[in-house]
Every structure is written in structure tokens, then in C-alpha cells.
Amino acid sequence: MEMLCENGGIAKALNAKIFGNGSQTLVLSHGYGEDQTVWQFLLPLLAYYFKVVIFDMVFSPNVDPKLYNPNRYSSDFKGYADDLVSLLDQLHVKKAMYLGHSMSAMVGCMAAIDRPQLFTHLILLSGSPRYINDEGYKGGFEKSQVKAIFQNIDKNFSGWVANFAPMAVGVNNTEAIAKFENTLGRMKPEIALSAATSVFLSDLRAKLPQVKVPCTIIQSKKDSIVPESVAFYMKSKLGGDANVTILNTQGHFPHLTAPNLLLKVLKKVLKIE
């Protein structure tokens, strides 16, 4: 990403925007197949209380595809975490609260291991350290299912998008499904496959004890991507204070399908009641 410094830096490359002028900074980081507009229902309230930073992850269809390097953005998530830290450094953020959805939950954890002084609190929304089942661990997917995902992305990307979007959203919310299907479908297929590989083959369980920053884990009661049990697994392994809130809703995208319920929880977590 060094080349970004010559063209307005990483903030410009990732379309970073700042809303609000609160004394505390809150960073919102979206997951696979999304872009920064996924925060549309949370942003008005959060920007009233905080300085809110939103941006597009490097695999987003809104980012120059030439900036995506499969070797950099691998399943150790280091490349993603380095981008996050570099972005906050460029924006002169000294301390921030962080809300990461899905794979960005673990991106935040990796960044907090590298620069713990940069983060005061991590909010891990629908996150997982490993998506594939293992002995004594329910990740949600068998290896064969993940292999089929990769094959479908490679052979029939548009067909896969049309099937995966409603499954992931998990509730009959036409607007949310259409939104996710749109951003997912606008990804370049080769980037979609590479990024999906980095996510679904990730195993960051051993990193959890190194995360000393306080964490709040928020998870839908029923999520086809991340089982409820993963939230409690993460709580038991994280190296600092951690607590779990289970939302009485379904789906992997509560910020789109149950924003009021999520905001109610975030008000408590962020102490803005």
C-alpha cells in the first residue's frame, strides 16, 4: 500500500469519511461483500455523539482494484490490520473505539495486538476467529462447504451472489438482501474469490489471548454464517475483559435488518444513554 502515499494516502484510497465532531473517535469497519454505506442506519445517531470514521475495505468495489494484492491480504489478516492502523495514523487518531462487522471484527483484533494503545474498546459484531468446524469447535461450515463456495464463485459468480446474499442476510428483508447482493455483485470476481479465501480459511483462534483491549461481542441469536456458540468461545479466549450480548434476532447483518435493536445495545456499550 506504499503507493497510496503518492496519491492522497490511504484515507483517499479507501474513501475514508469523518462524520460528527465528538471528543471521542469511533471507527466503523464493514465486512466481506459490503461497503461503507452499510452503516447508513447507525450513522446518524452515532455521529451525534462521536467523531465517526467510515471507510471502504480494500476489496470493496468502490476501491481501485489495482490496490488489492492477494499476497498481502491473506488469511492472517495482517494486511487488513496494517491498512486500518495506517488509516488511523494518517487521520491523526490517537485513541479510538472500534466496531468491526464479520471479518472486520478479527481485523480489529489483529490491529489491537499490533497497536493496543490505539484502541480503547473493540466491538466485535458477528465476528469469528475461524469459520470451518474443527475438533471441539463449531465454526459453522464444513471444509466441503467452503470448497463449494470457492468453486461456485469461480464458475458462476453472479449465480453464487444471488444464492449467498439471502442466505447470509438470513431474514426476509428485501431491502437488506438487495443491498448486500448489489455490493457483493459489484466486486471483481477474482477479488471476491481471493477475499473469500482469506476469510473462510482464516484461523485466528491462537491470536485471541493476545488481545488485551476490552471487547464487547455482539451476535444474532441465529446466524447462518457464525453460530451463537462462537461468541462465547471468543469471550473465553480473549486476553482482556470481554462480554457477550446476544441479539434476539436472526441474520448476519443486524446493522441492516435490526438496526434499532443493535443501536439499543450500542447505546449501553458506548455509554450514550
Q: What is the pLDDT of residues 191-205, one digit of tens each?
A: 999 999 999 999 999
Which of 218, 219, 216, 211 minimizes the C-alpha distance to 238?
211
Specify the CATH number for the domain of residue 216.
Answer: 3.40.50.1820
Report the percent of the chain where pLDDT is more than 90. Answer: 96
Catalytic residue among 101, 121, 252, 255: 252
Tell me the β-bridge partners of 51: 25
**Catalytic residue list contains 154:** no
Q: How are the residues of the chain apportioned to helix, strand and coil, as percentages rounded to the nearest 5?
A: 50, 20, 35
Alpha helices in 170-222 (DSSP H): 174-185, 189-200
Respond yes or no: is residue 92 known to be catalytic: no
**Predicted confidence (pLDDT) per residue in 248-266, tens digit:** 999 999 999 999 999 999 9
Are 50 and 26 in contact by the 8 Å Cβ rule? The answer is yes
Q: Which of 30, 194, 223, 255 is catalytic?
A: 223
Identify the pLDDT of residue 171. Answer: 94
The answer to whether 28 and 42 have CB atoms below 8 angstroms apart is yes
* The pLDDT value given to residue 3: 44
Output the pLDDT for position 15. Answer: 97
Q: Is 30 a catalytic residue?
A: no
Burial 122-149 (b: 16+ CB within 10 A, else e): bbbbbbbbbbbbeeeeebbbeeeebeeb
Report the alpha-carbon distance of residue 139 to residue 250 in Å, rounded.
Answer: 17
Q: What is the pLDDT of residue 8?
A: 76
- Hunting for cell 431491502 — which residue is that? 175
pLDDT tens digits for range 80-109: 999 999 999 999 999 999 999 999 999 999
Which 8-state DSSP code applies to residue 130?
B
Query: For residue 271, what is the DSSP state?
Result: T
Structural domain for 185, as ranges: 2-269
**Percentage of the chain exceeding pLDDT 70:** 97
* Overall number of domains in the chain: 1
Of 102, 104, 194, 202, which is the active-site residue? Answer: 102
pLDDT in tens, 40-84: 999 999 999 999 999 999 999 999 999 999 999 999 999 999 999
* 3-state SS assignment for residue 257: helix
Cell matching residue 67: 490496490
